[in-house]
């Protein structure tokens, strides 16, 4: 039941966000305007990217019929023994990590752009781009590696459909991706509070990773890799807009869709 609620919540937040154009006084589109066509096709592309993420996350049966994998390395074993909460409390740790992910990060997707110095829709689409791109990468790696979760390997919980989706931590990669993106957006609007903004966002993301280990859902290596991936996905998504290099885009020419390949020298 909890899984269904989280799935519905995530889907509603993402799709309402991508369809919401922002305050009426911020933007106006005209169908005869070339910029309208480009913005509209970008919206569709973003919606396709979000749909791909949601399909990989919820549309595929992740149950894996495989034998148990080899035991984790000594470093992962050591940190699991040091960090994992007791059997009676580890479910609370897992629930707290869910609360941080869905409340402190995903729940703020429609809110943070309102405090950004950018147009609401531009900042909102950036957040959606970050979470969907990170989600696609995370799910592809999880489905490829098929690492067994510690609670499944050590039999601290009954096996579930996601028992072989340990590497790398999706909670950690998502919170670091959104935390980094939020920090970039907010520190641009409030440069005098830059250090506080970065500290708050990355601290909450780090706490999420800690709770994933405490809840026996992940090993240290899962969390570290997830944090690194999430951080660099967000940095890349923000930097790619202005960086020199090759770009692939879509637009309309005389009512016909075209693919544009451009690059800067």
- Reported as a single tens digit per residue, the pLDDT across 37-53 is 444 437 888 899 999 99
- pLDDT of residue 29 exceeding 80: no
pLDDT of residue 122: 86
Q: How confident is the model at residue 242 (pLDDT cuts 50, 70, 90)?
A: low
Q: Yes or no: say if 22 and 120 are a contact pair by the CB < 8 Å rule.
A: yes
Q: Which two tokens stand for residue 194?
A: 């830059």
Can you tell me the distance from the alpha carbon of 43 to that of 128, in angstroms, rounded to the nearest whole number? 11
The angle formed by the CA atoms of residues 132, 177 and 15, to the nearest 5 degrees, is 30
Which CATH number fits the domain that encloses residue 50? Answer: 1.20.144
Instruction: Show Cβ contacts of residue 104 under 8 Å, excluding neighbours closer than 6 positions.
Output: 175, 204
Contacts of 199-206 with C-beta under 8 Å, sequence gap 24+, read 202/176, 204/100, 204/104, 204/105, 204/175, 204/179, 205/105, 205/172, 205/175, 205/176, 205/179, 205/180, 205/230
Structure tokens at 15: 């799709």
Domains: count for the chain: 1
Position 27 scores a pLDDT of 42
Closest CA relative to residue 105, chosen from 84, 128, 85:
128
d(CA 145, CA 164): 8
pLDDT value for 255: 56
Those residues with Cβ within 8 angstroms of residue 4's Cβ, 6 or more apart along the chain or in another chain:
none
**Of 36-50, 107-121, 141-155, which gets the smallest average pLDDT?**
36-50
Q: pLDDT for 159-212, tens place per residue?
A: 999 999 999 999 999 999 999 999 999 999 999 999 999 999 999 999 999 999
pLDDT score, position 14: 53
pLDDT confidence of residue 253: 58
| pTM: predicted TM-score of the whole model, two decimal places | 0.80
Q: Among 23-37, 87-101, 108-122, whose mean pLDDT is lowest?
A: 23-37
Q: What percentage of the chain has pLDDT greater than the value 70?
A: 74
- How wide is the angle at C-alpha 177 spanned by C-alphas 172 and 182, nearest 5°? 125
Range of the domain at 227: 2-263
What pLDDT score does 63 carry?
Answer: 81
Structure confidence at residue 254 (pLDDT): 57
């Amino acid at each position: 039941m909890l899984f269904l609620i989280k799935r519905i919540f995530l889907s509603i937040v993402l799709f309402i966000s991508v369809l919401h154009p922002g305050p009426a006084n911020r933007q106006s589109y005209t169908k005869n305007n070339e910029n309208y066509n480009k913005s509209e096709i970008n919206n569709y592309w973003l919606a396709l990217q979000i749909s791909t993420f949601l399909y990989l996350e919820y549309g595929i049966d992740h149950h894996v019929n495989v034998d148990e994998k080899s035991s984790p390395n000594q470093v992962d074993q050591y940190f699991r023994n040091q960090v994992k909460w007791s059997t009676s409390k580890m479910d609370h740790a897992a629930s707290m990590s869910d609360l941080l992910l869905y409340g402190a990060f995903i729940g703020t997707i429609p809110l943070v752009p309102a405090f950004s110095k950018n147009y609401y829709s531009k900042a909102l689409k950036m957040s959606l781009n970050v979470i969907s791109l990170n989600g696609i990468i995370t799910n592809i790696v999880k489905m490829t590696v098929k690492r067994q979760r510690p609670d499944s390997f050590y039999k601290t919980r009954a096996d579930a459909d996601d028992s072989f989706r340990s590497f790398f931590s999706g909670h950690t990669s998502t919170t670091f991706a959104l935390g980094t993106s939020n920090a970039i957006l907010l520190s641009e609007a409030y440069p005098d509070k830059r250090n506080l903004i970065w500290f708050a966002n990355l601290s909450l993301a780090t706490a999420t990773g800690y709770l994933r280990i405490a809840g026996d859902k992940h090993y240290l290596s899962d969390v570290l890799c997830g944090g690194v991936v999430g951080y660099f996905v967000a940095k890349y998504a923000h930097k790619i807009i202005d960086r020199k290099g090759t770009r692939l885009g879509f637009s309309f020419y005389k009512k016909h869709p075209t693919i544009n390949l451009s690059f800067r020298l």
